Amino acid sequence: MRVLGVDPGLTRCGLGVVDGGGGRTVRCVAVDVVRTPADAPIEERLLAVGAVVERWIERHRPDVVAIERVFSQHNVRTVMGTAQASGVVALLAARAGLPVAFHTPSEVKAAVTGEGRAAKQQVTTMVTRLLALEEAPRPADAADALALAICHCWRAPMLDRMAKAQARSAELARAHTARLAAAAARRAGEAS
């Protein structure tokens, strides 16, 4: 499975492509950070992020795009820009026919470090080790994008099994409800 991990942001948007070979084996394909000037109009910044993401989707042909789920921050302006960048990435993935998965920062940290409250440096250290990189990805947004991709590679099989189990459970519940309704109808017909 090839995953494009995106750590959304306007000033810095981390991009990382990872191949998952089954199990815990992962390999870094590409990593970078899209930067936009803080004084540029929002629409130009979103356009710049979108143009690079679109090129990455075309160039690397991921199977899925994993995006960090926007969470409440103290700075509303920052969270708005992050949410807008996240929306642009999700839109471009959908337009390319790719599924989108959102992962919370604590999910990602727990997946790569074993601790959902790990510091950024711990995440960077583990990403460097897991991908056998010669040097740590910089800035932290690049490491975070790779961590998102790794997290998805490892969690996707479990999430898929859970979705199939839920679908099967719903199917069994529908069949059981239909049998109960049919039995009730038979009893009502016999009583009259």
Reply yes or no on whether 63 is catalytic.
no
CA angle, 140 as apex, 44 and 118 as ends, to 5°? Answer: 130
| Residue 132 Rama label (left phi>0; alpha psi -120 to 50; beta) | left
Cα distance between residue 6 and residue 90, in whole Å: 10
Q: Is 7 a catalytic residue?
A: yes
Which residue in the list 68, 107, 135, 160 is annotated as catalytic?
Answer: 68
Q: How far apart are CA 127 and CA 32, in angstroms?
A: 14
Catalytic residue among 7, 39, 63, 134: 7
Catalytic residue among 141, 144, 171, 190: 141
Is there a catalytic annotation at residue 32? no
Record the tokens describing residue 71, joined without a space.
Answer: 């969470």
Active site amino acids? 7, 68, 141
